[in-house]
Each structure stands twice: as C-alpha cells, then as structure tokens.
Structure 1
Amino acid sequence: MLLTTVSSDGLTLLSLLTHWTSVPTVIRSSWKASDSNPCSWFGVQCDHNHNVISINLTRLGISGQLGHEIGNLYHLQTLVLLGNSFSGTIPSSLGNCSKLEHLELSFNRFSGEIPESYLKAWESTVA
C-alpha cells in the first residue's frame, strides 16, 4: 500500500478551502489530498524546493473568507485573488508572509483595513 503525504504548504491550501463557500470545479478537481504535490495544483506555483511561492485565483467566483492559515505560506511571493467574492477581514497572519511582493485583492468584498502586522512586514521590502 502506497501512502502519500501532502506537504505542509499543501495542507495549508487544503485548510484554506474549508473557509470557502463557493469553490469552482477547476479547484475542487485539482486541489486534492491524494496529490501530495501542490505545485501541480491549479493556480499554484512553487520554487525548486516545492515551496508555494505564488497563488493566482483570478475571477473564479470563489466566495467565503481568506483563512488565517494563509500566514503559514512563509515563501509566498505573489497572492492574486482579484475579482472573486471573498468577504470578511484580511487575516493579520498575512503579515507572516514576509516574502510577499505582489498582493492583489481588488474586486472582492473584504471589510476593514489591511492589518498593521502586514504593513510592518511590507515596509521592510520597500526600498
């Protein structure tokens, strides 16, 4: 019997799904615990060490909240969620993504402000 273990980044992505109330088929059919390599999942790119560095889920009709688990993607450089129906607040844990260089959250239904923890992390990347 062959057992596969999903990487920690893969587990993080799967836990994000639990916060989404509307998930398109292209994600449901691609983001699977049975596939241990999230680098092959729709909208996900990885570096040579198989760390998730980019998530691009533009205009897919996703609704729900962006879970606090997003902050566990320590190597994330790009997060594009443009044109969905995400709601609620932007998780303060996003500040843990200290390598984040491109953040695109436009045309969603987020409320509140960008957490100060993220702004402080971002300031260190501005020259």
Structure 2
Amino acid sequence: MEGGHWVFVLVFLSHVGSSQSSHSSNAKLLLSLKSAIVDPSGFLDGWREANYSHYCSWAGVQCDSFDRIIGLDISNMNLSGQIAPQIGYFHSLINFSVAANKFTGPFPSNITNGLGLKSFNICSSMFVGNFPTNFSKLKALEILATLKQHTLS
C-alpha cells in the first residue's frame, strides 16, 4: 500500500474513533443533566446509557448533521429539580428551552460557554438566585424569554 493510502486510513480511523468518543461524551453529558431532573411523567425515559449512540433522537434533543447537540427543548414536560452545570459543556447549543416546568434553584452561569446560543427560554419556571451576569458574552442571542414565576435577579 502506498504512503498516501496509509495516511487516509489513519485519518479515517481517527475520525471514526473521535466520532464514537463524541457520541459517548454527548450522551454522558445528557445523562448527567437527567440525573438532576425529576421526571414523573417519563418524558426522558428514552435517555438511557443503553442507547447512547442514538442520543440525537432522544426527546427534546436536536442535533446537526455532525451529531453536535444544537438544541435542547424540554419544555412542558412536568419536570422539576435543577439544571446541572454540565449544560455549559454543550458548546454547539443554539436553542435552549425549559419553559413551563418546575425547575428550581440557581441557574448555572456556565450556560454562556455556548457562545452561539440564539434562543434561551425559561418562561414559567421557578429558578431563584442571580441571573448569570455573563449573559452579555452571548452576542448571537436573539430570544431571551424569562417571564413568570422565577426570582432571578
């Protein structure tokens, strides 16, 4: 086999390995978010380690063509608990909505790690504490919906 073919094979194999690693990482991050959530109606029952390679089809999860998580919409699912700080590790996140649930506690300030965030919706939730002060970093933000039932300052 010529040298050029070996380079292609090595690049291909490293891409396949990193893609599988990325799938595993994204699924594990989603599962860590789920671990802080109370889901009495079972909307997130499909979020299981057994099917981590299909996380892009999990309820509320939207991915792009590269399987990067670009949307998380778990609105109106009768969820409670807290949003875990792992939310800040979804660097490709564009849309985030947890509206009309019963989440409490402070909102993780590292949500602003995803600088491409365009839509942020926590309407009708019950978050308390300080609103993340670094929201000004989100230059792409177009929609900031925070109406009702929370005491973020």
TM-score relative to the length of structure 1: 0.87
Match of 1:27 in 2: 44
In the alignment, does 2:97 pair up with 1:86?
Answer: no
Kindly report the root-mean-square deviation, in angstroms, between the aligned alpha carbons of the 2 structures: 1.8
Tell me the CA shift for residue 9 of structure 1. Answer: 1.6
In the alignment, does 2:69 pair up with 1:49?
Answer: no
Unaligned runs of 5+ in 2: 1-19, 143-153
d(CA) in 1 for partners of 2:68, 2:40 = 23
* Residue number among 55, 61, 64 corresponding to 2:78 in the alignment: 61
In the alignment, does 2:117 pair up with 1:104?
Answer: no
Q: Which has the higher helix share?
A: 2
Tell me the CA shift for residue 97 of structure 1. Answer: 1.3
d(CA) in 1 for partners of 2:64, 2:85 = 23
Larger relative contact order (C-alpha < 8 A, sep ≥ 6)? 1
Is this contact kept in 2: 1:7–1:38, CA < 8 A? no
1:54 partner SS: strand
Identity %: 27
Match of 1:120 in 2: 136
Is this contact kept in 2: 1:7–1:37, CA < 8 A? no
How many pairs does the alignment contain? 121
In the alignment, does 2:92 pair up with 1:75?
Answer: yes
Is this contact kept in 2: 1:78–1:100, CA < 8 A? yes
d(CA) in 2 for partners of 1:39, 1:8 = 13
Deviations 1:3-38 (A, max 9, x none): x8753121111000111133531211x111111221
Is this contact kept in 1: 2:116–2:141, CA < 8 A? no
Moved over 4 A (4+): none
Q: Which has the higher strand share?
A: 1
d(CA) in 2 for partners of 1:82, 1:126 = 17
